[in-house]
Structure 1
Amino acid sequence: MLARQRQEVILDEIRRSGAVQVNALVGRLGVSDMTIRRDLDVLAKRGLVEKVYGGATAVVGRSTDEPGFEAKSVRAQAEKEAICALAASLVRPGTAIGLSAGTTTWTFARYLHDVPDLTVVTNSIRVADELRRLDRPDRTVVLTGGVRTPSDALVGPVAVQSLRSLHLDVVFLGVHGMADGPGFTTPNLNECETNRALVDAGGRLVVLADCTKWGTVGISTIAALDEADVVVTDDGIARDAAEVLTERVGELMVADVGENARVAE
């Protein structure tokens, strides 16, 4: 297969699922990983894909672009793990918490397995599945209804109505982007309304957002920066961004990505 043919196959797969992994392409196309990486380099230079660790994803740039769950799950993996490990210290036994949909909150759900006597409300099928996996008798998981989005969120009037009747201790919110002015944003209007209802149901708001989210702006604002009691990000956050967040949010917590990686080894 010629290089151009391989690259067309790669682009077709990214259009279909939102992301590709080098290892999977090696098996499918019968070439070396170096050949696949060169193909990805070519496509990235042409602005057709965005390279990430272990593969590539669709290019995101417009305020309405919404990558699928698989595409987002391979982005900033080490940063998400570090953020979630740090944010887990904010969860107290015996409380009721809310988790929005997304790959960061899905990662965060794994860090909740050892927290006893916990009630979790979420509009994410993936988060609910992860929390139910251990089948703990002291764990209550509430999944809202709604219409499914590309990021596996349940949204719409059914989800909003169910959230409006709840009172949660803390809400942990994953976001598409954050910036001075627009605040915390999403590219999906329906998801914004549902996330807003989730935020309103919480006594405290904790935003989980890796450093790549700074400066990204979706079409709709979920919450202003100063509505966040805590923002948990990673040590790759730019200095000027950290200064803005420190000034605007209740507390900025910065996770050490390198330290988290060492602990995981």
Structure 2
Amino acid sequence: MKRGDEMLKTDRFQAIMSLLEINGTIRVSDIMEKLSVSDMTVRRDLDELERQGLLERVHGGAKLNDFYRHEELSHTEKQILLQEEKQRIVEKASELIHDGDTIFLGPGTTMELLAKIIRGEGLRIVTNCWPVFEELNKHKDDRKIYLLGGEMRETTQCFVGEITNKSLQDMNFHKAFFSCNALNEQKIMTSTFEEGQTQQIALNNSIERFLLIDSSKIGKKDFSVYYNLADVTAVITDKDEAGHYEKIEKEEKYVV
């Protein structure tokens, strides 16, 4: 690899990110020494990488941000995380479901917990998530349950794509309950464009939209932005000791 001013900017970016992946954090002085470049060049490069969302500037250097380090957990791994918090969230959400409602349930382990406790007469429930459907099917009662087909995404075991979306486009709901991988400012995010697009259609076709997330997801980032917090009826989350919920508590739509 070329050194100093002879290096292309893309080569410097790659070298900086490689160092960050190894160490998690890095100082400006370390980059100057390893790449033989000036202080001004390093700071300019770090500023550009921060604008691209690949790192966060800290005093004297930089660190990887949560999005860059993020690798989506498997369905099984997600099931064991923050179970008590998720249970409180779905219990609150279940109070919003009334007899005769037509509702959409998105994918996710929080939605599975909600599916376990939904009760009511004359309900019509649509989902694109296989585990959610399985839970709903255990308590059929006086309800109709619809599972949307399509291309199955293994990580979340939900159906996405053209077939799923065409079916959803012709459906309307009183309420939609959904989750996400990250909520940052007004942006609701997930890990794939396809999954976000499917949820977006369901949300647009719903009169009310309820976002169910544990507070650890607040302030994080993920790949695909698919909805805006301003268009959500309410956020149902937990009050964690770290105070993540405070970032959205000022919203009138915030619910605990």
What TM-score does the superposition give when structure 2 sets the normalisation length?
A: 0.70
Letter in 2 for 1:196: Q
User: 2-side partners of 1:115 and 1:252: how far apart?
Assistant: 25
> Which of these residues, 72, 75, 95, is aligned with residue 89 of structure 1?
95
> Which of these residues, 228, 234, 237, is aligned with residue 232 of structure 2?
228
Asked if structure 1 preserves the Cα contact closer than 8 Å seen for 2:67 and 2:222, the reply is: no
Cα deviation digits, residues 193-213 of structure 1 (max 9, x gap):
111111111111100000111
2:223 is aligned to 219
Over alpha carbons, which structure has the higher Rg?
A: 2
1:171 is aligned to 176
User: 1-side partners of 2:204 and 2:71: how far apart?
Assistant: 26
2:140 is aligned to 135
Asked if structure 2 preserves the Cα contact closer than 8 Å seen for 1:96 and 1:119, the reply is: yes
Asked if structure 1 preserves the Cα contact closer than 8 Å seen for 2:238 and 2:245, the reply is: no
Asked if structure 1 preserves the Cα contact closer than 8 Å seen for 2:237 and 2:245, the reply is: no
Asked if structure 2 preserves the Cα contact closer than 8 Å seen for 1:105 and 1:172, the reply is: yes
Cα 1:213–1:237 shift into 2, 3 Å: farther
Q: CA RMSD in A?
A: 2.0
> Which of these residues, 154, 158, 163, is aligned with residue 158 of structure 1?
163
After TM superposition, give the deviation of residue 108 of structure 1 in Å: 0.7
Cα 1:237–1:116 shift into 2, 3 Å: farther
1:251 has 2:256 as partner? no
Asked if structure 1 preserves the Cα contact closer than 8 Å seen for 2:102 and 2:173, the reply is: yes
User: 2-side partners of 1:64 and 1:166: how far apart?
Assistant: 34
Asked if structure 2 preserves the Cα contact closer than 8 Å seen for 1:209 and 1:233, the reply is: yes
User: 2-side partners of 1:253 and 1:128: how far apart?
Assistant: 26
After TM superposition, give the deviation of residue 64 of structure 1 in Å: 6.8
Residue 231 of structure 1 aligns to a residue whose secondary structure is strand
Runs (5+) with no aligned partner, structure 1: 1-45, 48-59, 255-265
After TM superposition, give the deviation of residue 237 of structure 1 in Å: 6.7
2:62 is aligned to none
Cα 1:245–1:142 shift into 2, 3 Å: same
Runs (5+) with no aligned partner, structure 2: 1-22, 25-65
> Which of these residues, 171, 177, 189, is aligned with residue 185 of structure 1?
189
User: 2-side partners of 1:116 and 1:63: how far apart?
Assistant: 45
> Which of these residues, 207, 223, 248, is aligned with residue 203 of structure 1?
207
Letter in 2 for 1:103: T
Cα deviation digits, residues 210-254 of structure 1 (max 9, x gap):
011112211111211111111000121754x54442444x52111
User: 1-side partners of 2:156 and 2:233: how far apart?
Assistant: 25
User: 2-side partners of 1:63 and 1:200: how far apart?
Assistant: 31
1:118 has 2:120 as partner? no
- Residues 44-55 of structure 1: pairs in structure 2 closer than 5 A: none
Equivalent pairs counted in the alignment come to 192
After TM superposition, give the deviation of residue 63 of structure 1 in Å: 7.5
> Which of these residues, 101, 109, 125, is aligned with residue 107 of structure 2?
101
Residue 234 of structure 1 aligns to a residue whose secondary structure is coil
What TM-score does the superposition give when structure 1 sets the normalisation length?
A: 0.68
